């Protein structure tokens, strides 16, 4: 189980959090074209690399936060957490 | 006013040889402070006695005052109402239990993934986590040098959690106090 | 039978001869001793054949006589598939062989052996593929051949436990290296958990010399003195992300099995080495045993494994086995020294046991025991799981770790060879390094965790690995003889099967494994993997390095389903009024985690009473969010499709929430309690989702808005009082003016009800009746409920349950989110056009709803009320709606009930917009007989009181 670096609680089991997904920004709802809006709704990059994602600390501080994670190695990058994998690499 | 009714409605025979104790303290007055101002000088994860009340920094922007009604009222006088601050009566929203015993951490290890060692959860530590799949606020609040924890869950889960704690505590000789 | 094969007391024996234990085997009463395994007790009693093999039903005896023995699966009472080489004997147990019919000694299915070529690899895939229609018949026949014990469906499940743990250092393996590492780590200040697969610490020292056994005892004493938490008869079954380690503990005093989820800061892998079988003809006959099995049998259990032995030895352990045998009086007929090129080609024998051994030089030696010492397999599973890809060293005939992993260290036989002192010194260095690294990890964890004790020094540098590596002992490569033999004993896969499969094109090791099932049996490849690779390498004309090996995945050793499931937690929620429901005849229904009254015996009667007199329902599960702050109207305007800026204090309004794609998410009523104070209600099932949803918008999109959201779902117990006499009933319990003028529809009041302060009351009407929803501080919920029951006896007050509420809301035409709408239903399809305010600057879902209204309405369905022509027909929910006289599917019924109020069936459904007008004729295809009934769309959603006169009364 992943140890997720909650910037408020500290490292927590991923079962205490919800992985919200890739961090996305909301287009202006009154100006977006259908293509822009639907890419906001449905399209994600899904990279096998460093990726900014959103987590919600469901069981802990109940804060949403963004964190950079390498989806290929599950390494987290600081900030918000200094150090990457808490227990060293592997 | 009629008597406050706890979510714990079952009755339990005491276990005379017990070395661990669980008590229902749900009637304790609970006052929630939501604020963007630091309150009582307590940072998230810490707790402290103010008079007869216990103040717990339960979230980065939330403090919970626990105690008898007069004690909570007295402590509430110290709330910094500047900034964006709201005070919400919360006595009825949470069941509150106290678990006491030398092996209390061993019981919690069976139903909660937090590290209960002294280094990670020292006396006074406040955390929230899944306990037997319900979200609880947990405060380490030792009694006369004996390990003790206050556990708070949504009232509707109270009876379930109380029984889950007793089940997990069976091997440690637990008794309802 | 007496213990005919029990030796005189041995210095290191683990049995207690003063504690004899009776048990039955295959119907016979036998005796063993405390400390025996089932296997050692059977061997002490001279039992030779213990099982039949899976496919060919060949007779099998003990080969490794430990946890990994592929031949030792037995039924113990109602428990199937017990590993008799590992499970300790207890008094009075009933042990039976598995996979035999009609008996162990005479097995009809052993005929399989004669036609064995038809059961070659992939037999099932090839033979039973066609015709597919016959598969059920094939399956039935094959099921009688399926291996395994029998499951008693009536047996009571045991107490399986779970536990978390946070050791600094977790050591997998309690042999000399594991113990030395654990001691060194603990003495360096680490909290250490030591997990040993076997029943005792000591590893191979347990069956070694007297000096070895003394060393084992000494180390075990030091382990205890160092304060190490020791788990014996427990297995580290997996290592996962971020050093998450699973331990299956089989030795717990209070649980059948306990799964420990350990977040180890550093894992030390010290499982030792597993002895590898040798592939030759007859290598699975009873009487062929590995050298370790022979030595364990003698030293630990004082049993005599045979009377005349041939020892095939490729290493010092084989030589030691020969010495041990001679010491206890077994005639060692010959030691065949593999190091000098001698070889065995076949074990001959009858149905029950080896009788002679044929050598490569053509000679033959009579023997009832063939001891094989062909080498070692490094069980690198836990390293594989941490990302290591071990590398084969031909000079040592085994794999070694290759990767450097920060928090997984290895020591002992898996890491290299050496004498006792060298192994221990390396392990101690490993333990110290692990403790240092764990301290660095602890520093990181503590420094980053808000609640933890403060750290008073800077984070230490990551400790470097400066251990001197262990040496490696040469070992001959002994993988197969010149003859065909068994490679996977538990799956009955021979070297011939593997060669054939390779020829058929399954020549990648991962494919070969899956096609032949070699290494996939209960031994999890510990005995078979390297031989499988070696046979494949030979077939491909390549080296073992070139072929590579399969990746070892969790579990290290099989784990029971009970152990995996553990104690199941099923959080269960009840309202404060639950005790009343329980003692007043509720028929409960589980809705998500909530237990609620579905009804109290007569839901139709509850409807009629509510419509005639007054009913009360416990709606406490209704989601409730306390909203405070000057920007609450902004949040409401964002989350709901309608407008909230002008809701006055004391006002209540219904709102519909959408997701960003315009799909209906939730609905409910929100009231304004004060200048900056609101109470929002959500659906019961949506309570948690809406809270997270609202927090998400606040925290990520509008962090500048001042709003505090506090869930108060169970802080307030909620009671809906509905019916023409509800005003009269409530007036008896409150001094608040309930008159139509003072307290109109869709407004709220706060005050005292039944003596309870701080109650919130609002007038709404989900049931369509004059009704008040009272929210009471939960500590007094039961009191207020009882007061309503007591005060309304003369008014005919009676409780109603969820079912009556569902009937009444359907009569009234209120849709339920998730029942009448689904994951594709846009708000514009829900028949609430007046609630969608496109002139607001923004709300969640607005964009899609605007586009839908502009040009997609013709292709979207509508939620409509429907009535069947035949009033007694109640079509089941999900009944298909078709165009009359055709099979063209138009939509479906989403809700249906018999209405006690109207005396006819009523429905809600989804149909295309073009068919949503009142009076449109439809046809329903009934389940299950396909009968068709005519139906009509209604003008309004409401079947009853469409003008709403009753609720505004």
Residue A83, min C-alpha distance to chain C (Å)? 8
What's the rounded Cα separation, in Å, for the pair C332 and C317?
A: 15
CB-nearest to B129 from A8, A16, A62 is A16
pLDDT of residue C583: 96
In chain B, positions 33-52, which contact chain C (CB-CB < 8 Å)?
34, 43-46
Residue B167, pLDDT > 90, answer yes
Per the model's pLDDT, the better-predicted residue between C490 and C761 turns out to be: C761
Region of residue C259 (phi > 0: left; psi between -120 and 50: alpha; otherwise: beta): beta
Q: What is the band of A84 on the pLDDT scale with cuts at 50, 70, 90?
A: very low
* C708–B86 CB contact, under 8 Å: yes
Residue B139, pLDDT > 60, answer yes
Residue C130, pLDDT > 80, answer no
pLDDT of residue C560: 87
Fold type of domain C160-273+380-448? FAD/NAD(P)-binding domain (3.50.50)
CB count, 10 Å around CB of B41? 11
Task: Name the residue among C351, C201, C348 with its Cα closest to residue C288.
Answer: C348
By DSSP bridging, strand C344-349 and strand C354-359 are: antiparallel
**What is the pTM assigned to this prediction?**
0.93
CATH of domain C860-953: 2.40.30.110
Residues C873-899 have a mean pLDDT of 96
Fold type of domain A3-77? Folate-binding fold (3.30.2270)
pLDDT of residue A78: 63
CB-nearest to A88 from C437, C450, C846 is C437
* B115–C575 CB contact, under 8 Å: no
Rounded to 5°, the CA angle C54-C491-C506 comes to: 135
Chains that touch B (3 or more CB pairs under 8 A): A, C
Per the model's pLDDT, the better-predicted residue between A82 and C854 turns out to be: C854
Tokens representing residue C116 in the block: 């064995």
pLDDT of residue C116: 46
* A90–C452 CB contact, under 8 Å: no
pLDDT of residue B82: 92
* C571–B125 CB contact, under 8 Å: no
Region of residue C261 (phi > 0: left; psi between -120 and 50: alpha; otherwise: beta): beta
C838-866: pLDDT as tens digits: 999 999 999 999 999 999 999 999 999 99
Task: Identify all chain A residues contacting B133, using CB atoms and an 8 Å cutoff.
Answer: none
Q: What is the band of C126 on the pLDDT scale with cuts at 50, 70, 90?
A: low
Residues C519-525 have a mean pLDDT of 86
Cβ atoms of C60 and C286 within 8 Å: the answer is yes
B171 at C interface, C-beta within 8 A: yes
Residue of C nearest to A81 (CA): C448
Residue spans of the domains in chain C: they are 16-108, 160-273+380-448, 860-953
What's the rounded Cα separation, in Å, for the pair C397 and C863?
A: 72
Residues A3-12 have a mean pLDDT of 92
Residues C476-486 have a mean pLDDT of 94
Specify the DSSP class assigned to residue C618: E
B19 at A interface, C-beta within 8 A: no
CATH class of B20-26+93-176: alpha beta
pLDDT of residue C142: 64
Residue of A nearest to B131 (CA): A59
pLDDT of residue C129: 61
A14 at B interface, C-beta within 8 A: no
What's the rounded Cα separation, in Å, for the pair C23 and C93?
A: 5
What's the rounded Cα separation, in Å, for the pair A55 and A61?
A: 12
In SS3 terms, C349-382 reads as ECCCCEEEEEECCCCEEECCEEEEECCEECCCHH
Residue C535, pLDDT > 50, answer yes
Residue of A nearest to B125 (CA): A9
Residue A80, pLDDT > 50, answer no
What's the rounded Cα separation, in Å, for the pair B99 and B108?
A: 9
| Percent over 90 (pLDDT), chain B | 97
C131-180: pLDDT as tens digits: 677 767 766 666 665 667 888 888 888 889 999 999 999 999 999 999 99
B134 at C interface, C-beta within 8 A: yes
Residue A61, pLDDT > 80, answer yes
Cβ atoms of C915 and C846 within 8 Å: the answer is no
Place of tokens 């499951």: C151
Q: What is the band of C873 on the pLDDT scale with cuts at 50, 70, 90?
A: very high
Lowest mean pLDDT among C70-84, C293-307, C627-641: C70-84
* B44–A16 CB contact, under 8 Å: no
CB-nearest to B91 from C261, C574, C779 is C779
**Which of B88, B92, B133 would you mutate first to test chain C, the one with the most C CBs within 10 A?**
B92
* B156–C191 CB contact, under 8 Å: no
Place of tokens 């979200």: B135
* B120–C449 CB contact, under 8 Å: yes
Cβ atoms of A66 and C386 within 8 Å: the answer is no
Q: How many CA atoms lie within 13 A of C907 on its CB side?
A: 30
Q: Where in chain B is the domain with CATH 3.30.1360.120?
A: 20-26+93-176
**Residues contacting C421, CB < 8 A, separation 6+:** none
C817-829: pLDDT as tens digits: 999 999 999 999 9
Task: Identify all chain B residues contacting A59, using CB atoms and an 8 Å cutoff.
Answer: 128-130, 135
Q: What is the pLDDT of chain C when averaged over all its residues?
A: 93
pLDDT of residue C112: 47
B10 at C interface, C-beta within 8 A: no
* C756–B1 CB contact, under 8 Å: yes
C612-636: pLDDT as tens digits: 999 999 999 999 999 999 999 999 9
Tokens representing residue C184 in the block: 């060194």
Residue C182, min C-alpha distance to chain A (Å)? 19
C319-368: pLDDT as tens digits: 999 999 999 999 999 999 999 999 999 999 977 899 999 999 999 999 99
B34 at A interface, C-beta within 8 A: no
Task: Identify all chain B residues contacting C445, using CB atoms and an 8 Å cutoff.
Answer: 115, 120
Tokens representing residue C331 in the block: 């005639």
Residue B18, min C-alpha distance to chain A (Å)? 31
CB-nearest to C453 from B27, B89, B118 is B118
Class of residue B109 by CB neighbours under 10 A (exposed 0-12, middle 13-18, buried 19+): buried
Residue B81, pLDDT > 70, answer yes
Fold type of domain C16-108? Ubiquitin-like (UB roll) (3.10.20)
C407 at A interface, C-beta within 8 A: yes
CB-nearest to A90 from C261, C406, C445 is C406
Rounded to 5°, the CA angle C863-C864-C869 comes to: 145
| Percent over 90 (pLDDT), chain C | 85
Chains that touch A (3 or more CB pairs under 8 A): B, C
C754-782: pLDDT as tens digits: 999 999 999 998 899 999 999 999 999 99
Q: What is the band of A79 on the pLDDT scale with cuts at 50, 70, 90?
A: very low
| Percent over 70 (pLDDT), chain C | 96
pLDDT of residue C446: 93
What's the rounded Cα separation, in Å, for the pair C519 and C488?
A: 6
Tokens representing residue C794 in the block: 């003369």
Kind plus residue range of the DSSP H or E element containing C150: none
> Distances in Å between the alpha carbon of B92 and those of C10, C395, C905?
68, 73, 42
Specify the DSSP class assigned to residue A48: S
Task: Identify all chain B residues contacting C715, using CB atoms and an 8 Å cutoff.
Answer: 90, 92-94, 155
């Amino acid at each position: 189980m992943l140890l997720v670096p909650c910037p408020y609680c500290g490292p927590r089991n991923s079962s205490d959090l919800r992985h919200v997904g890739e961090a996305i920004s909301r287009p202006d709802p009154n100006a977006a074209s259908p293509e822009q809006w639907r890419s906001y709704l449905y399209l994600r990059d899904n990279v096998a690399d460093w990726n900014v994602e959103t987590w919600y600390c469901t069981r802990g501080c109940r804060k949403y936060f963004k964190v950079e994670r390498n989806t290929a190695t599950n390494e987290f990058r600081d900030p918000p957490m200094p150090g990457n994998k808490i227990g060293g690499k592997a | 006013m009629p008597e406050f009714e706890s979510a714990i409605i079952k009755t339990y025979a005491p276990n005379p040889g017990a070395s661990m104790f669980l008590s229902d303290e749900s009637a304790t007055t609970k006052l929630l402070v939501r604020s963007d101002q630091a309150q009582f000088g307590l940072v998230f994860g810490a707790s402290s006695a103010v008079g007869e009340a216990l103040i717990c920094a339960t979230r980065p922007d939330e403090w919970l005052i626990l105690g008898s009604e007069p004690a909570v009222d007295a402590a509430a006088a110290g709330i910094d109402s500047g900034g964006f601050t709201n005070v919400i009566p919360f006595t009825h929203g949470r069941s509150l239990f106290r678990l006491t015993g030398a092996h209390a951490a061993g019981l919690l290890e069976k139903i909660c993934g937090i590290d209960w060692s002294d280094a990670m959860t020292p006396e006074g530590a406040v955390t929230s986590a899944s306990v037997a799949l319900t979200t609880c606020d947990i405060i380490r609040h030792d009694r006369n040098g004996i390990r003790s924890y206050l556990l708070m869950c949504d009232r509707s889960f109270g009876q379930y959690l109380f029984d889950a704690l007793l089940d997990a505590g069976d091997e440690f000789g637990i008794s309802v106090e | 039978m007496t213990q005919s094969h029990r030796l005189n007391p041995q210095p290191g024996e683990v049995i207690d001869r003063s504690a004899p234990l009776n048990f039955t085997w295959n119907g016979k009463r036998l005796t063993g001793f405390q400390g025996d395994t089932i296997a050692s007790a059977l061997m002490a009693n001279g039992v030779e054949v213990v099982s039949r093999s899976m496919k060919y039903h060949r007779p099998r005896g003990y080969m490794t006589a430990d946890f990994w023995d592929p031949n030792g699966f037995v039924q113990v009472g109602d428990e199937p598939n017990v590993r008799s080489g590992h499970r300790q004997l207890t008094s009075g147990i009933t042990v039976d062989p598995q996979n035999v019919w009609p008996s162990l000694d005479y097995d009809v299915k052993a005929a399989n052996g004669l036609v064995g070529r038809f059961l070659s690899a992939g037999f099932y895939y090839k033979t039973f593929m066609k015709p597919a229609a016959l598969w059920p018949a094939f399956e039935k026949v094959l099921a009688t051949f399926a291996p395994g014990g029998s499951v008693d469906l009536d047996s009571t499940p045991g107490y399986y436990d779970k536990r978390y743990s946070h050791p600094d250092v977790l050591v997998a393996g309690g042999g000399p290296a594991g113990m030395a590492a654990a001691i060194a780590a603990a003495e360096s200040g680490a909290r250490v958990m030591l997990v040993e697969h076997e029943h005792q610490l000591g590893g191979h020292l347990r069956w070694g010399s007297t000096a070895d056994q003394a060393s084992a005892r000494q180390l075990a004493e030091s382990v205890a003195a160092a304060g190490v938490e020791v788990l014996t008869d427990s297995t580290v079954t997996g290592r996962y992300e971020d050093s998450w380690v699973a331990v299956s503990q089989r030795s717990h005093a209070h649980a059948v099995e306990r799964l420990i989820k350990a977040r180890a800061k550093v894992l030390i892998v010290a499982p030792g080495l597993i002895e590898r079988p040798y592939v030759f003809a007859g290598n699975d006959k009873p009487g062929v045993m590995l050298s370790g099995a022979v030595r364990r049998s003698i030293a630990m259990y004082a049993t005599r494994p045979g009377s005349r032995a041939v020892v095939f030895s490729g290493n010092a352990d084989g030589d030691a086995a020969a010495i041990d045998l001679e010491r206890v009086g077994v005639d060692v007929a010959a030691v065949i020294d593999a190091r000098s090129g001698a070889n065995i080609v076949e074990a001959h024998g009858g149905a029950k046991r080896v009788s002679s051994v044929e050598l490569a030089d053509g000679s033959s030696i009579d023997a009832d025991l063939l001891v094989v010492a062909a080498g070692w397999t490094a069980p690198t599973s836990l390293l594989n799981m941490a990302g290591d890809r071990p590398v084969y060293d031909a000079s040592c005939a085994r794999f070694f770790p290759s990767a450097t992993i920060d928090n997984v260290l290895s020591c002992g036989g898996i890491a290299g060879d050496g004498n006792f002192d060298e192994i221990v010194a390396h392990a101690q260095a490993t333990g110290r390094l692990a403790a240092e690294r764990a301290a660095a990890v602890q520093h990181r964890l503590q420094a980053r965790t808000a609640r933890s004790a403060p750290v008073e020094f800077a984070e230490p540098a990551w400790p470097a690995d400066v251990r001197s590596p262990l040496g490696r002992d040469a070992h001959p490569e002994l993988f197969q003889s010149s003859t065909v033999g068994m490679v996977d004993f538990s799956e009955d896969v021979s070297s011939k099967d593997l060669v054939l499969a390779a020829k058929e094109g399954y020549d990648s090791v991962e494919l070969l494994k899956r096609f032949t099932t070699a290494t996939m049996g209960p031994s999890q490849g510990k005995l078979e993997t390297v031989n499988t690779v070696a046979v494949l390498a030979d077939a491909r004309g390549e080296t073992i390095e070139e072929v590579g090996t399969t990746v070892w995945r969790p579990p290290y050793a099989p784990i029971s389903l009970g152990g995996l499931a553990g104690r199941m937690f099923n959080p269960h929620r009840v309202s404060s009024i639950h005790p009343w429901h329980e003692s007043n005849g509720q028929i409960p229904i589980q809705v998500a985690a909530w237990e609620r009254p579905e009804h109290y015996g007569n839901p139709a009667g509850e409807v009629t009473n509510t419509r005639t007199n007054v009913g009360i329902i416990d709606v406490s599960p209704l989601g409730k969010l306390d909203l405070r702050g000057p920007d609450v109207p902004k949040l409401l305007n964002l989350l709901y499709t309608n407008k909230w800026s002008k809701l006055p204090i004391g006002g209540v309004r219904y709102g519909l929430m959408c997701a960003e794609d315009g799909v209906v998410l939730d609905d409910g009523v929100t009231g304004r309690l004060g200048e900056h104070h609101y109470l929002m209600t959500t659906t019961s099932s949506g309570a948690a989702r809406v809270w997270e949803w609202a927090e998400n918008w606040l925290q990520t999109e509008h962090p500048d808005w001042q709003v505090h959201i506090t869930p108060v779902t169970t802080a307030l117990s909620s009671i809906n009082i509905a019916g023409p006499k509800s005003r009269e009933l409530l007036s008896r319990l409150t001094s608040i003016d309930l008159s139509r003028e003072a307290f109109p529809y869709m407004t709220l009041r706060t005050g005292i009800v039944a003596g309870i302060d701080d109650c919130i009351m609002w007038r709404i009407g989900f049931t369509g009746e004059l009704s008040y929803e009272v929210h009471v501080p939960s500590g007094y919920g039961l009191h207020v409920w009882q007061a309503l029951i007591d005060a309304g006896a003369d008014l005919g007050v009676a409780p109603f349950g969820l079912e009556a509420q569902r009937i009444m809301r359907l009569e009234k035409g209120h849709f339920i989110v998730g029942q009448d709408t689904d994951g594709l239903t846009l708000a514009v399809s829900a028949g609430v056009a007046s609630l969608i305010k496109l002139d607001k600057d923004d709300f969640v879902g607005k964009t899609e709803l605007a586009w839908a209204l502009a040009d997609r309405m013709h292709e979207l369905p509508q939620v409509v009320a429907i009535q069947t022509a035949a009033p007694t027909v109640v079509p089941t929910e999900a009944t298909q709606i078709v165009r009359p006289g055709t099979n063209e599917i138009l939509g479906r019924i989403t809700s249906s009930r018999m209405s006690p109020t109207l005396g006819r069936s009523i429905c809600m459904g989804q149909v295309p917009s073009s068919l949503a007008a009142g009076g449109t004729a439809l046809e329903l295809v009934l389940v299950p007989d396909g009968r068709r009934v005519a139906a009509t769309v209604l003008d309004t959603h409401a079947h009853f009181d469409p003008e709403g006169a009753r609720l505004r009364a």
